[in-house]
Amino acid sequence: MLYDKIQEALAFIRTQTDFKPDFGIILGTGLGGLADEMEVVCAIDYSDIPHFPVSTVESHAGKLVFGLLDGLPVVAMAGRFHYYEGYSMEEVTFPVRVLKFLGIKRIIISNVSGGTNPDFKAGDIVFLKDHIYFQPENPLRGPNEDRLGPRFPDMLNIYDRQLNAKAQEIAKAKGIRAFEGVYLCLQGPNLETPAEYVYIHRLGADMVGMSTIPEVIVAHHMALPVFVISVISNQSYPPEVIIEVSVEAVIAMAREVEPKMSYIVKEVMKLEAED
pLDDT of amino acid 56: 67
Number of neighbours of residue 152 by Cβ within 10 angstroms: 8
List phi, psi (to 5°) of 200. -60, -45
pLDDT of amino acid 61: 64
pLDDT of amino acid 31: 73
Contact (CB, 8 A) for 185 and 83: no
Where does 2-274 sit in CATH, by number?
Answer: 3.40.50.1580
pLDDT of amino acid 136: 95
Per-residue pLDDT reduced to its tens digit, 76-92: 999 889 999 999 999 99
Q: What is the mean pLDDT of each run of 10 residues along the chain (275 residues)?
A: 97 98 90 86 96 71 91 94 94 97 97 97 97 97 96 96 96 97 97 97 98 98 97 95 90 91 95 87
pLDDT of amino acid 27: 92
Closest C-alpha among 254, 214, 209 to residue 115: 209
Half-sphere exposure of 61 (CA within 13 A, CB side): 18
Per-residue pLDDT reduced to its tens digit, 89-111: 999 999 999 999 999 999 999 99
Domain ranges of the chain: 2-274
